[in-house]
Every structure is written in C-alpha cells, then in structure tokens.
Amino acid sequence: MSVEARRYAVFGHPIAHSLSPEIHSAFAKQLGIALDYRVIDAAPVVFEAEVRRFFAEGGHGANVTMPHKLVALAMADEVTEAAKRAGAANTLTHLGNGRIEAHNTDGSGFVRDITERHGFDLRGHDALLLGAGGAAKAVAWALMDAGVKTLTIVNRTPERADELADAIGEPARCHTRYWDGLDGECFDLVVNATSIGFDGGKFDLPMSIVQDHSTAYDICYGTAAAGFKGWAVAAGVRPDWFRDGLGMLIEQAADGFERWHGQRPDTDPVYRELRQRF
Ligand code: NAP
C-alpha cells in the first residue's frame, strides 16, 4: 500500500528560483519519506489567504521567503523565540484547526554552517554584522548565543541597527557603529546580511577592518555574493576564508525539515551537489 505524501510548500514572490523544493526532496529521498513539496508564487495581497487555503486543504508546513517573512510572523497563532527575535518567520507549521506556528531557522542554519561545516569556532571572536533586516536579526542573536566576544552592527538605516542592539540588550558585548564610522576597527569575522549584492551595489567599507586572519561570510550565494567576496579579497581576506550562504540555506532547510519530520537529514551530500552549481 502506498503512503500518501504529506504536503509542504514554499511561498514567495518571485519564487521560481527557489532551491527549497530540490533541497527538501533530497532530504526526503535520503530518509525514505514520501513528500509532496510545491512552489507557490503568492503576491503580497494574497499571501495570507493562500497560506490559510494551503493548510485548510491538508498542507502540513510551509517555508516562506521574501517578501512574506514579516506577514508570516504576524499571521501566526504561536511564535517561537527564534521567530520573535528575528521579527520574521521562514517556517510555518499547521498545528491543526487552522492554527499556525511561526518559526525562524536562519540563525541556527547560519551557525551550524559556519561552525560545523567550515570549522569556525565563534567563541571569543570579534564579529561585524552588516545589515539589520530579518536575516541579520536572526544572525545577530545566533552570533551572541554562540559566544562571540563582541558583535558590532552597522546598517544603512542606523536606527534599525540601534533597535537590534537594544533588543539584544548586552551593551558590553553588542553595539552599533555608523556605516562610515568603522575606521580604526578590525574584526575576525565580517558577515554580510544585507541584500546589497542583489542590486549589484558596492561595499563601501574601509579595507582596514579585516586582516589576513579574518573570515568573511556573505549569507547570499551565487552571483549575489560576488560583490562582497570581491571587496573582502581585495581587503586582504584569503579567498578560501570567504564563505557564502549556500550552506546556511541548506542548514536552515534541514532545521525546518527536522521540525516537521522529526528526523535530521545529512546535509553534506546536498551541499556537495549544489556546490557544483553555485
Ligand atoms: P530585509 O529584511 O529586506 O533586509 C535587507 C537588509 O539589507 C537591510 O539591512 C537593508 O538596510 C540592507 N540593504 C538593502 N539594500 C541596501 C543597500 N543598497 N545599501 C545598504 N544596505 C542595504 O532582507 P532579509 O530577509 O534580511 O535578507 C537579506 C539577504 O539575505 C537577502 O539577500 C536574502 O536573500 C539573504 N538571505 C539568505 C539566507 C540563506 O539561507 N542563505 C536566508 C535569509 C536571507 P536598511 O535597513 O537600511 O533598508
């Protein structure tokens, strides 16, 4: 007797480029789980209604990507600590009777990738975070939890960086700077969590903020990470100490997958496969 596949989906707009169906299908195949994972392109005006319809028609879980992560949080009945801290949700679970739980796996996925895959022990290091959007918030909290010595946050709109640092509430370890006020500082780790690379924008940062022992990590991947990599290598980061967000993407997916299916997939084969393309 065949097992009926449980239904999942990723919602975004646009969404055609999403790797989530491929990643979740690979995890499911590895663990022998029957999976029906769809791509749903929902414009902002219909997003909430589409999610509710999907769950009403038997959907179990949904991944959410731009531009819906804030509404995904707002529409939920239950919100995990990780989603609260990020102020955004990338994983929705149907709890039954139309009730929805919002969760965020970006922070845990980032830390798992940088520590376990790339062997960077975050403890005791000085980190600089570029950005204060949803992904940056998740990464900021995760960096703090992972034990960085200091976390400096800069953002184009400085008030958003200040709000994030205030929410973290550890001024001795976590503080903000103006984007153009970084001269004279040097960091072990610089994380780009902005979407500058998508617009082909330039990284206007002093080269002195990194040395050849520094690691640079762009949470974007593919061509969107090229601009930050170019800046980092020109500033003195060793090319093989630059990391992109492909591994984070796979780890955050694995965290959501484990939440839904109760089993943790082996992410390495999926990473190796996708690395050949990005
Ligand atoms: P978001 O909430 O819209 O935040 C965007 C951030 O980028 C804000 O800090 C914004 O600054 C900054 N920014 C945008 N354009 C800029 C520019 N031209 N100059 C300077 N700063 C600029 O987006 P998000 O959800 O945090 O996502 C950010 C990026 O991370 C996206 O590219 C996304 O694809 C990527 N991401 C990757 C993963 C992964 O698994 N690898 C997961 C999540 C997100 P302001 O506050 O001043 O607007």
| Catalytic center residues | 69
Between CA 139 and CA 135 the distance in angstroms is 6
Q: For ligand 1, atom 8, which residue shows the shortest CA distance? A: 133
In tens, the pLDDT along 61-93 reads 999 999 999 999 999 999 999 999 999 999 999
pLDDT one digit per residue (tens) for the chain, 278 residues? 457 889 999 999 999 999 999 999 999 999 999 999 999 999 999 999 999 999 999 999 999 999 999 999 999 999 999 999 999 999 999 999 999 999 999 999 999 999 999 999 999 999 999 999 999 999 999 999 999 999 999 999 999 999 999 999 999 999 999 999 999 999 999 999 999 998 888 999 999 999 999 999 999 999 999 999 999 999 999 999 999 999 999 999 999 999 999 999 999 999 999 999 99
Nearest CA to 209 out of 130, 136, 124 is that of 130
**Which two three-digit tokens encode residue 101?**
């739980």
Whether residue 157 is annotated as binding a ligand: the answer is: yes
For the entire predicted model, the pTM comes to 0.97
Q: HSE (CB half, 13 Å, CA atoms) of 64? A: 32
The whole-number pLDDT of residue 2 equals: 58
CA of 195 to the centre of ligand 1 (A): 4
Q: Give all domains of the chain, ordered by start, each with its CATH number.
A: 6-103+247-276 (3.40.50.10860), 119-243 (3.40.50.720)
Tokens standing for residue 169: 């509430």
- 159 labelled as ligand-binding? yes
- What count of Cα atoms within 13 Å lies in the side-chain half-sphere of residue 70? 5
Edge-first strand order for the sheet with 6-12 is 35-41, 6-12, 59-64, 91-96, 99-103, 78-79
DSSP, res 262: S
- Closest atom of ligand 1 to 195 CA is 32
Ligand 1 pocket residue status of 18, Cβ below 6 Å: no
Question: Measured over all CA atoms, what is the biggest interatomic distance in the chain, rounded to whole angstroms?
Answer: 67
156 is in an annotated binding site: yes
Q: Given this model, what pLDDT does residue 199 score?
A: 81
What pLDDT was estimated at residue 78? 98
Whose alpha carbon is nearest atom 43 of ligand 1?
135
What are the distances in angstroms from CA 107 to CA 22, 142, 147? 21, 5, 13
The per-residue pLDDT for range 37-67, each reduced to its tens digit, is 999 999 999 999 999 999 999 999 999 999 9
Q: What is the pLDDT of residue 1?
A: 45
Ligand 1: nearest atom to the Cα of 246: 41
Give the mutation target among 63, 65, 110, 194 for probing the ligand 1 site: most ligand atoms within 8 A of CB.
194
Read off the tokens for 186.
């040097």
